[in-house]
Chain A
Amino acid sequence: MRAVRGVSFEVRRGEKVGIVGESGSGKSALALSILRLIAPPGEVVGGQVWLNDRDLMRLREREMAHVRGSEIALIFQDPMTALDPVMTIGAQIVESIRKHRPDVSRKEARDRAIELLRDVEVPLAERRIDDYPHQLSGGMRQRVVIAIALANDPPLLIADEPTTALDVTTQAQVLDVLERAVEERGAAVILITHNLGIVADFCDSVKVMYAGRLVEQATPTDLFRSPIHPYSEALLRSIPDPARLEQGPLPTIPGAPPSLANLPAGCAFEPRCPLGRGVAICKNTAPPVIPIGQGVAECHFAEERWADNETMRKEAAADDRS
């Protein structure tokens, strides 16, 4: 069963990339694949991950361990389970620092850890550093997880649903902290989420994932104004919008995502697609990657739809200028 199938994209220095998808779309598997942390019996069966000029998939495990935490760091989705419950948060930050810079003394590493906790706005950092995870709230724990990820100033951060378990106000705080931290450090972020609002808020570019593939890659403005892939469009339309309350029920996507063990021969979205269902080419041929505007889409109708949306985009651009 392939959770991630033929995914290609690039992240530029300092870019904030959003990957959107529903559960089972393979977005978390993608994050762990980049870090080569897929738990057995899962494995990455092919592909390349280039970080600057090295292919991470071809590194030896020792070299890869050096990349993790110092060049790519992970911000894990559930802050309640992301920290070792029997180790102080300070020790967990120090462990990360000293792994990659053994020459740093314990004292220096501790001072640096306090500084990091201050950076992510943990109040009374010099006292909190000796706390255990269970003594902190969910929002505070997620800040600690972010502090650990930032410990070695990695150029790339992968944040897997970093705010899903948090309340809106805490979510807003944590996103602010993350945004400030990456901007000060010039780090790039891959933000994986199911929340389209966060993507619109936070990201410079968006990738929509469906059944293990990136079916559309675009700027947030293009995606939200004029989605090309019918799945992106359906996903956007199913967000509850009080403005269209009077227009009857919410548009939904019929059916369920395909089982990854048993994918259709053509487009994976074909059986649910309002445009392509039953269309021969959609049923039989997997759609190619079609460059569209500043992004790409994997849909047989992509060029047609892009042309249809041209006027809408122009109007929107005019709106933005005014």
Chain B
Amino acid sequence: MTAVDHMPSHDDDKTTQPGLRGDAGESLLWVRDLVKSFQIRSSAGFWRHEQLALRAVDHVSFDIKAGETFGLVGESGCGKSTLARCILRLLESDSGDIIFDGADLRTLSRDDMRAYRRRMQIVFQDPYASLDPRMSIGETVEEPLRVHGIGDQTEREARVDEVLSLVGITGDQRTRKPHAFSGGQRQRIGIARALILYPELVVLDEPVSALDVSIQAQVLNLLRDLQQRLNLTYLFIVHDLAIAEYFCDRLAVLYLGAVMEMADRETLFHNPLHPYTVALLSAVPTPDPAAGRRGKRIALSGEVNPLSTREGGCRFRSRCPIGKDRPLCRAEEPPLTQLQPGHWVSCHYPGELAPR
């Protein structure tokens, strides 16, 4: 077990917790100190192995205001999808609070949870895998209504037509099966399915990653348009930083299950303080040959290694361009600290590595 308890004490001073500020009343969702660990088997050979508990989500706290788009960015394996699934209680978390519109979701019974589940929906990454190939798209979109026992047949059909037309699918296409649709259209259908229950919070799990550039733009426009029309709140999971910058109001950068940096878009992309954020941003190739990005790239050595959280100290240390050999980084996990209003960083030497 990882026994290192690296967050500052969680109980005495609540103002050091993002999401529990004075104005938290506006928040639709607060996540506080959320932890989710998985047991993994690590083998030292054919006959020997040991059980390890690794925290996929490690004391994560943030809040999302109503109508806002909150982005979770990070490399694969950083825990962003696990975190989202814990919030929707598709996965049970180990500890922490998930407060949605005043109710702590973690403590709700299955029955009580049903009412909240209607208000929170998810759109998945893969528009090919997430639709049942044997169901017509009308049935797929209608299914949540039937599951929740809403309306009679005519009412349900009217609502399906309404939501399909919202995402740009015409009513006469509703009897077709998913294979008759392109990737972009399938993603629209996935969005319609998520919207049919009129949710307030929609988790978008890499909704455009599998799509071509021109289709990506169409879906992003649609999502933004729907957000304004239906007053939706988005939790947007994304690994493409260009899309993150374009689409999100505030973002958290995750590394190995913990928040490295959290700020509004402007601050995060123009004044990043955590060396991981800086390196991540520098690695994105920009579609401008004159930018000469290659010279500006800050190369991160090595790869994400989940076992590095077990060594204590900063979890990013082994790949950090500035902290690799510093005693403080080896000894202590830096706390997530608010350096400017709304700008949270978990680093002993914030701002030292400047974007070039």
Please determine if A and B sit in direct contact within the complex, based on CB atoms under 8 angstroms apart.
yes
Interface residues of A (CB under 8 A from B): 22-23, 137, 139-140, 167-173, 175-176, 194-202, 220-221, 224, 234-236, 238-242, 245, 249-253, 256, 316, 319-320
* A239 adjacent to B283 (CB under 8 Å): no
Interface centre among B224, B286, B299 (most CB of A within 10 A): B286
* B286 adjacent to A251 (CB under 8 Å): no
Which 10 pairs from chain A and chain B are nearest by CB? A240-B246, A197-B285, A238-B217, A22-B212, A201-B285, A220-B289, A172-B283, A167-B75, A250-B217, A249-B221
Within 8 Å of chain A (Cβ to Cβ): is B280? yes
* B294 adjacent to A201 (CB under 8 Å): yes
A204 vs B269: C-alpha distance in the bound complex, in angstroms? Answer: 29
A234 vs B288: C-alpha distance in the bound complex, in angstroms? Answer: 15
Within 8 Å of chain A (Cβ to Cβ): is B303? yes
A235 vs B212: C-alpha distance in the bound complex, in angstroms? Answer: 10
Within 8 Å of chain A (Cβ to Cβ): is B213? yes
* A251 adjacent to B75 (CB under 8 Å): no
* A169 adjacent to B75 (CB under 8 Å): yes
* B283 adjacent to A240 (CB under 8 Å): no
Q: How many A-B residue pairs have CB under 8 A?
A: 114
Q: Which of B47-55, B58-66, B235-243 forms part of the interface with chain A?
A: B235-243
Within 8 Å of chain A (Cβ to Cβ): is B198? no
**The one of A198, A200, A238 that contacts B214, using a Cβ cutoff of 8 Å:** A238
Chain B residue nearest to A219 in the complex (CB): B289
Chain B residue nearest to A179 in the complex (CB): B294
Q: Which residues of A contact B279 (CB under 8 A)?
A: 169
Q: Which residues of B contact A202 (CB under 8 A)?
A: 285
Chain A residue nearest to B297 in the complex (CB): A172
Interface centre among A175, A240, A245 (most CB of B within 10 A): A240
Q: How large is the interface on B (under 10, 10 to 19, 20 to 34, 35 or more residues)?
A: 35 or more
A1 vs B17: C-alpha distance in the bound complex, in angstroms? Answer: 60
Q: Is the interface of A mostly helix, strand, loop or mixed?
A: helix
Q: Which residues of A contact B286 (CB under 8 A)?
A: 197, 200-201
Q: Which residues of B contact A197 (CB under 8 A)?
A: 242, 284-287
Q: Which residues of A contact B183 (CB under 8 A)?
A: 23
Within 8 Å of chain A (Cβ to Cβ): is B76? yes
Task: With A22-B212, A241-B246 given, name 12 new contacts (CB 8 A).
Answer: A22-B214, A167-B76, A168-B75, A168-B241, A169-B75, A196-B213, A200-B291, A240-B220, A240-B242, A241-B242, A245-B246, A250-B220
A168 vs B291: C-alpha distance in the bound complex, in angstroms? Answer: 17
Question: Residues 250-270 of chain B: 1 if any A CB is under 8 Å from the residue's CB, otherwise 0?
Answer: 000000000000000100010
A100 vs B213: C-alpha distance in the bound complex, in angstroms? Answer: 40
* A171 adjacent to B213 (CB under 8 Å): no
Within 8 Å of chain A (Cβ to Cβ): is B349? no
* B303 adjacent to A137 (CB under 8 Å): yes
Q: Which residues of A contact B218 (CB under 8 A)?
A: 252
Interface centre among A22, A197, A235, A236 (most CB of B within 10 A): A197
A235 vs B217: C-alpha distance in the bound complex, in angstroms? Answer: 10
Given contacts A169-B279, A249-B225, contact A221 B290 (CB under 8 A): yes
Interface centre among B213, B215, B218, B246 (most CB of A within 10 A): B213
A137 vs B285: C-alpha distance in the bound complex, in angstroms? Answer: 22
Q: How far is the CB of A245 from chain B (nearest CB, A)?
A: 7
**The one of A171, A224, A253, A256 that contacts B288, using a Cβ cutoff of 8 Å:** A224
**The one of B217, B283, B289 that contacts A251, using a Cβ cutoff of 8 Å:** B217
Chain B residue nearest to A172 in the complex (CB): B283
* B283 adjacent to A221 (CB under 8 Å): no
Q: Which residues of B contact A252 (CB under 8 A)?
A: 214, 217-218, 221
A201 vs B216: C-alpha distance in the bound complex, in angstroms? Answer: 21
Q: Which residues of B contact A195 (CB under 8 A)?
A: 285
A303 vs B38: C-alpha distance in the bound complex, in angstroms? Answer: 61
* B182 adjacent to A256 (CB under 8 Å): yes
* B246 adjacent to A23 (CB under 8 Å): no
A200 vs B246: C-alpha distance in the bound complex, in angstroms? Answer: 20
A238 vs B242: C-alpha distance in the bound complex, in angstroms? Answer: 12
